[in-house]
Structure 1
């Protein structure tokens, strides 16, 4: 007969082993259920895998064509001179002794601080010779441009063409090897809902890929005083630094150039805009060969004709566009177009909207003579107009005149001047009886930027010919020859100096 202690021991072991077996069984079932619940080993449909592969293929194909663009610009800022020349003890003695001490008139001088500003954007290689398409605002006023390829090679870049109206520019580099060139697609064939892939360097994070769809097309967006028409809207994430980079379709073709976002915070909220690539293709050749896009300019402000305007003007139908203002001295004014005229036809084409007239005028060559049919005094009149040329400065001038802030200025080789008046004397630190024209702006990268002159300088004479008035300034500069040399007589903050320049 077995010992009772031995029997109890065997029974305890049997219970223990049974418990361990049941516990292992429960854990195994639980783990299996967990795997099923949380999809550790989940089957993925082939369609999803194919879509993922398509995105990967697009990224691998397009990324080598995308570049990062880094710019440097030097800004010259006026440093307040009173800080350097005021006597800090004068007010102390006045308060302590209760009397005013004689003020000393220190010579006031103007000091400038040069501040270097860096920027970043993106671009896309469009030609094996080193042509890169980007945004105009990415390289605007840049004094130094560095282009970094996808393979980390860096090159110095030069802007060879720019167009503020479309916010596009072409930068040229001299590559040491072969470049991978992007495929340009057809932006007219895109559909709302199509896949859209943005590639660029947001916040300096190079070669970033984001995915979304075409949210809308043919949207008009206003930014920095310019209206960008028929842009592509996408919810693919676009941020600072993406500007100038490509918007790509699912086939790896460039359909747009990422340009701007709508955001109250400064970051992406899913509303980004791109310039259609077809618009870029239409102006690439003149940008590469001429450095600009030549567009016609009429010099009027217009608005659509509504039912009341048509009825009160004697028109039987609502058609054409109404002229609300004519800019003095420009093409429309010279031809005799008046405020209140309704433009019915332009160059033989019927005008149904303001946008159509703007497109037709812009597509026309400057200095071209065009017949315009207007409705005036209950009858049609034909007026021949010689178009001017659209420029960024021309548009700014028109906007100034329209806002009542017009001020007559002159320009020469990137230098903008205005007439000196006595009320400018204190600001410029010159005597009220000074005579000449004041430099108000010198465009970065222009020929005038090489003269050694600054905004705020008073030009008293050029080549010993007085420039007391704008008319004298324009007369002298027309006869000036850079190869023979230019002598500037300048009053700079009360100091009379001479500056010379000769083109070698």
Structure 2
């Protein structure tokens, strides 16, 4: 009441022209306020990107990766295993539902569930497996026509070549990684002796068994290992797997070779003591009694320089050839002993039991 009387008294004292000016000023302020509100709604805080602002070369590369993902992912599956709770990936190689995956994913499986790209979940069963190469063939139970991935030629891969890997990381949706071949895998003289293909793209938990593909969408490898921080992936060359599939499908049991020695790195001090110059080769730490190497005349403190003419400098390089050669086959060891170099042929036998990883 007091405020109303004060305003009325103020208006009586104010001249009409002054009052009109005040009203006009208020109206202009209101218009300005509305204009700013409209401007705030019309012009957002961010800068909207122009869809036409593209680099033609990058856009073509972008479309190529999109086509690759769409082409490949339809045949990539997730593999779930009970009771181990293992999760991995795989890819369909035959319309009847034959799938390749990693052996370590399905090892000790009692029940296998396969999740297809269309999210359908079906049961599967193991058809054949090989622990040495670390791959398995599983099959979808039931009938159907499934999309497949063609298998390529891993022997023609080149360092620096673009490749893609697909899988189900951490058991989630399928994903595509793109990288380059950092080291090309190769088959060696024996049927399953090989170097892994190394790629500079991640290999996360759950992606073991997934395909490594070239830019044509052809499988050139299967992911089975990763670096400790999982930033580097390792794949079995697909040519190694292709060579074994027909034999495993016929029910043949492949038994890989055993030498019967314990190996270690040849240090500079040991090389000086043994007279090995230049320093090269792998030290035989001990020879197991009544095993192939011992029967062939290999001694403790021998230095293995090569296996089947493949030069070796690490125990893993010797074991790769031995464990990739079938029982009953003969390998040729080039040995350095007491200042002399000579060749020892060894017929490989069966591994007698569970021994440590440096024995082969």
Q: Please confirm whether the aligned pair reaches a TM-score higher than 0.5, indicating the same fold.
A: yes
Pairing 1:194-205 to 2, within 5 Å after superposition: 194=162, 196-200=164-168, 202-203=170-171, 205=172
Query: Which residue is equivalent to 2:287?
Result: 326
1:397 and 1:39, CA in 2 relative to 1: closer, same or farther beyond 3 A? same
2:266 is equivalent to residue 299 of structure 1: no
Task: Figure out how many residues of one structure are paired with residues of the other and give that number.
Answer: 333
Q: 1:398 deviation in Å?
A: 2.9
Greater Cα offset, 155-164 or 209-218: 209-218
2:204 is equivalent to residue 238 of structure 1: yes
Highest relative contact order (Cα 8 Å, sep 6+), 1 or 2? 2
SS at match of 2:336: strand
Query: Which residue is equivalent to 2:298?
Result: 337
The structure in which a higher percent of residues are strand is 1
Unmatched runs of 5 consecutive residues or more in structure 1: 74-116, 220-227, 264-268, 403-504
Q: 1:140 deviation in Å?
A: 0.5
**Match for 2:344 among 383, 390, 395?**
383
**Match for 1:62 among 72, 76, 93?**
72
1:246 and 1:72, CA in 2 relative to 1: closer, same or farther beyond 3 A? same
1:13 and 1:56, CA in 2 relative to 1: closer, same or farther beyond 3 A? farther
Distance in 1, Cα, partners of 2:319 & 2:280: 15
1:197 and 1:51, CA in 2 relative to 1: closer, same or farther beyond 3 A? farther
Query: Which residue is equivalent to 1:275?
Result: 235
Q: 1:126 deviation in Å?
A: 1.6
Query: Which residue is equivalent to 1:452?
Result: none
**Match for 1:144 among 96, 107, 111?**
111
**Equivalent pair of 1:198/1:238 in contact (CA under 8 Å):** no
Distance in 1, Cα, partners of 2:130 & 2:92: 18
**Match for 2:25 among 9, 15, 33?**
15
Query: Which residue is equivalent to 1:491?
Result: none
SS at match of 1:38: coil
Distance in 2, Cα, partners of 1:23 & 1:50: 48
2:1 is equivalent to residue 40 of structure 1: no
**Match for 2:222 among 257, 273, 279?**
257
**Equivalent pair of 1:187/1:276 in contact (CA under 8 Å):** no
**Equivalent pair of 2:212/2:235 in contact (CA under 8 Å):** no
Deviations 1:395-438 (A, max 9, x none): 86332997xxxxxxxxxxxxxxxxxxxxxxxxxxxxxxxxxxxx
Unmatched runs of 5 consecutive residues or more in structure 2: 1-13, 186-193
Distance in 2, Cα, partners of 1:22 & 1:156: 69
2:125 is equivalent to residue 168 of structure 1: no
1:371 and 1:46, CA in 2 relative to 1: closer, same or farther beyond 3 A? closer
Deviations 1:340-392 (A, max 9, x none): 22334544x26343455434434444212445443334444543321124xxx
